[in-house]
Amino acid sequence: MLLLHGDLNLLFRGLFGVPFFYSQKFIPMAFPTTNAAQELEAINQILATVGQAPVTTLDTTNPDVAIAYDTLLQVSREVQAEGWTFNKEYDYPMTPDDDNEIAIPTNMLQVDLHEREQNYKEYDVVRRDGKLYDRIDHTNKWTNGEMKVDVVWHFDWVDLPIPVQDYITARASSFAVSRIVGDQQLLRQAQEKEAYCRAMALEYECNQGQFTYFGHPKGGNHYTSYQPYKALQR
């Protein structure tokens, strides 16, 4: 039997809840996002969780796609801000500019002076106005030259390990279910998948970090073991 355009549209409306040709014919395509090809798989997983059909491009004029994409970016930033082996860096050198100020890059989620830096106890650094700021001397001027800091970086999607990508996607799916669907049974299923993926991400983290209770000397593992004097001085 020959099906016309309208018949196909009606058929797929019944299957997916939206017209099959709707996104292709009526919605203007938005400008492609960064790493759209790499992020598309994660977006389709999120859409599948909420019962939506997959898409071939990240068309952010589609409300469901826009919510899924924004949620993925938000969750990716939150998860990376926890600080993992892959995005932590120690003894990172930062050099003052001509104004004796140290600008902090926008993709640096956390920054702290390395504890083995010279005169460590004389500084208490935070981020302020996009620069490294010392709360003890109340200044963002650094006249002692290069400073060594510990940082947590915010990486692009393509630079994230696969277990971390899976965890971010699963967590974003849970948020998408609560925002788009609101079905409690579906939300529980999504949260179970999220818990499993987090366990896999933590397993990967433990294997990569090679953590021990006793810590390691400089140049080795940077895990800091329990030090009673730090607890007592609080």
**What pLDDT, on the 0 to 100 scale, is given for residue 121?**
62
**For residue 10, what are the contacts with CB-CB under 8 A and spacing of at least 6?**
none
Residue 217 has pLDDT above 70, yes or no: no
Position 160 in a domain: no
Is 94 part of any domain?
A: yes
Percent of the chain with pLDDT over 70: 72
Give the residue, 75 or 26, on which the prediction is more confident. 75
Tell me the average pLDDT across 89-103. 92
Question: Which residue among 120, 135, 154 closes a domain?
Answer: 154
149 located within any domain: yes
How confident is residue 130, by pLDDT bands cut at 50, 70 and 90?
Answer: very high
Range with the lowest mean pLDDT among 35-44, 105-114, 133-142, 166-175?
Answer: 35-44
DSSP reduced 3-state for 18: coil
Q: Is 176 a member of any domain?
A: no
Domain for residue 228, yes or no?
Answer: no
pLDDT at 4: 46
pLDDT value at residue 16: 41
190 lies in some domain: no
Question: For 10-33, what is the mean pLDDT?
Answer: 38
- Burial label for 63, CB within 10 Å (0-12, 13-18, 19+), is exposed
In a domain, 92, yes or no: yes
How many other CB atoms sit within 10 Å of the CB of residue 74? 14
Give the E-state strand segments of the chain in sequence order.
88-94, 108-113, 125-128, 131-134, 147-153
Residues 147, 94: contact at Cβ < 8 Å?
yes
Using the 3D structure, point to which of 128, 154, 180 is the last residue of a domain: 154
Q: State the average pLDDT for the chain.
A: 80
pLDDT at 182: 79
Give the predicted TM-score (pTM) of the model. Answer: 0.74
Number of domains in the chain: 2
Q: What is the pLDDT of residues 150-190, one digit of tens each?
A: 999 999 999 999 999 999 999 999 999 988 887 899 999 99
Q: Which of 132, 154, 176 is the last residue of a domain?
A: 154
pLDDT tier at 198, thresholds 50, 70, 90: very high
CB within 8 Å of 181: residues ≥ 6 apart:
50, 51, 187
Query: Tokens representing 35?
Result: 């790493």
Containing domain of residue 23, as a range? 1-28
Say if 16 falls within a structural domain: yes
Report how far residue 68's alpha carbon sits from residue 47's, in angstroms, rounded to the nearest whole number.
7
